[in-house]
Amino acid sequence: MQANLREHIEKIISLTDDEFAFVQSHFVTKQFSRHEFLITSGEPVQYTYFVISGLIKLIHTDDSAREHIVAFAMEDWWESDFQAFYNGTKATMSLQCLEDTTVLCLTLDAYNSLCYGLGKMELFFLKKANAGHIAAQQRILSFLTSKAKERHEKLLKRYPSLFQRVPKTQLASYLGVSRETLSRLSK
């Protein structure tokens, strides 16, 4: 599977060929291999990423060096440490590949010049930010309303492909349970 930036944007706003060329000129394509880091906690965050193909995880490492998965991002998703990206501060999370991955990279300057040159992209990014907010709220709700088993089932139903592509340990970290518990739940 492979994401298409133009189709992705045109789900929200429509673009002429010229406009899309203008949009595209703000991005750089990069490739990363499994296990490589796109963002490293403690370092500046240069880009927001749009995933063309592959799979990455946004992680936070706590005081005890335990890793927690804040989000997965696959084809068609935007990801970054947005807090750090927009404020120009150091990353508090890391972004790491779970598969070989191709992304489009957008710097903050490119982002600003893109919105300045093509106002309707602001609406596009607003919708995306809102969608991110809503998705995060839904995940909070799943913590409030469901036990581990139910969260697991819902994830399985919503993103069956994740269970093919991601080691169980990673899913456990995303669900907020130990890998042993997840293993026991799967039956």
Please, are residues 170 and 155 in contact by the beta-carbon 8 Å criterion? no
167 binds DNA (CB under 7 A): yes
Q: Extract the runs of DSSP E, i.e. beta strands, from 23-66.
A: 28-32, 37-39, 47-53, 55-61
Q: Which long-range contacts (CB under 8 A, 24 or more apart) does 156-164 make?
A: 159/72, 161/74, 162/72
123 binds a second copy (CB under 8 A): yes
For the segment 141-160, give every residue that binds DNA (CB under 7 A). 147-149
61 binds DNA (CB under 7 A): no
Pick the closer one to a second copy by CB: 10 or 150: 150
Give ∠ CA 163-166-168 in degrees, rounded to 5: 75
130 binds a second copy (CB under 8 A): yes
User: How far apart are the C-alpha atoms of 106 and 58, rounded to whole Å?
Assistant: 17
168 binds DNA (CB under 7 A): yes
186 binds DNA (CB under 7 A): yes
22 binds a second copy (CB under 8 A): no
119 binds a second copy (CB under 8 A): yes
86 binds a second copy (CB under 8 A): yes
User: How far apart are the C-alpha atoms of 5 and 50, rounded to whole Å?
Assistant: 8
Q: How far is the CB of 100 from a second copy (least distance, A)?
A: 26
What single-letter DSSP state applies at residue 90? B
Which member of 66, 147, 158, 187 binds a second copy (CB under 8 A)?
66
User: How far apart are the C-alpha atoms of 106 and 104, rounded to whole Å?
Assistant: 7
Which member of 6, 90, 133, 184 binds a second copy (CB under 8 A)?
133
Q: Which residues bind DNA (CB under 7 A)?
A: 147-149, 167-169, 176-187
